[in-house]
Amino acid sequence: MASVNIHCPRCQSAQVYRHGQNPKGHDRFRCRDCHRVFQLTYTYEARKPGIKELITEMAFNGAGVRDTARTLKIGMVMPLISVFQLTYTYEARKPGIKAP
């Protein structure tokens, strides 16, 4: 039987243990260092690594929500959430506005 070394995508730690399965039967893992739960394979496109960065890049380049969703093959909600979070973060960093 072959063993596979699994590393946490957040902190790159090798201290990872199996943490059950998702409803589709894919294994979930948990990092002992940062306590993050992750999977090796995602079926939901918007949860795949790097998607949020692509949404942010497309938003800064002037792409609309529908165009972003169609290009990345994700629903329209995820680009909207990302744009709202960017706007909220930007507004909170303006001088004279108190951040939550």
State the pLDDT at residue 32: 95
Residue 14 CA from chain centroid, whole number: 20
Give the structural domain span for 10.
1-43
Is pLDDT of 22 > 80? Answer: yes
By C-alpha distance, which of 53, 52, 14 is closest to 32? 14
Q: What are the φ and ψ backbone dihedral angles of 29, each rounded to 5 degrees?
A: -130, 155
CA atoms of 65 and 83, how far apart (whole Å) = 9
Give the pTM.
0.53
Give the single-character DSSP code of 73: T
Question: Do residue 24 and residue 55 come from a single domain?
Answer: no
State the pLDDT at residue 2: 58
Question: Do residue 37 and residue 54 come from a single domain?
Answer: no
Question: Do residue 39 and residue 1 come from a single domain?
Answer: yes
Question: Do residue 7 and residue 23 come from a single domain?
Answer: yes
Residue 72 pLDDT level (bands cut at 50, 70, 90): confident
% residues pLDDT > 90 (the chain): 25
Q: What are the φ and ψ backbone dihedral angles of 28, each rounded to 5 degrees?
A: -110, 150
